[in-house]
Amino acid sequence: MPTHNTAIRRIKELKQLDDSRPSFPGEHWIVLAAGLGAWLASRRHPSVVVRTLGLVAGTALVGRAASGRDGIAKLVRYLPVGGGIRR
C-alpha cells in the first residue's frame, strides 16, 4: 500500500506531465461537458455508489474545466461580472 508521501509525489508528477503537454482549443469546454454529463448520467441511478461516483467525477471535471491552465476562469475575467477574478 503506498504511503502518503508516495501518493503526493505521484500527484505532483501527474500535474507536471499535464502541464508539459500542449493543450488544444476548447479543451476546457469538452471537460466541462464531460463533468456535466457525469452528473446527469448518474443522478437518478438506483445505486448510491454510482450516484456518489458520478458526483465526485463530475465535480472533479467541472473544477478542472474552471481552474485548469486553459480553464473557464481565464475567459470569465473578460466578462463584466468577472473583473475581480485573478489568476
CB atoms within 10 A of CB 86: 6
What is the rounded distance in angstroms from the CA atom of residue 8 to the CA atom of residue 70? 24
- pLDDT given for residue 4 in this prediction: 74
Q: Is residue 47 part of a domain?
A: yes
Per-residue pLDDT of 31-42, as tens digits, reads: 889 999 999 999
Give pLDDT, residue 20.
Answer: 82
State the pLDDT at residue 78: 66
Band (pLDDT 50/70/90 cuts) for residue 56 is very high
Q: What is the pLDDT of residues 71-85, one digit of tens each?
A: 666 666 666 665 555
Would you say residue 3 has pLDDT above 80? Answer: no
Distance CA(66)–CA(32), nearest Å, equals 8
In a domain, 41, yes or no: yes
2 found inside a domain: no
How far is residue 46's CA from residue 16's CA, in Å, rounded to a whole number?
38
**Is there a domain that residue 4 lies in?**
no
Quote the domain boundaries for residue 38: 24-82
- Total structural domains in the chain? 1
- In a domain, residue 68? The reply is yes
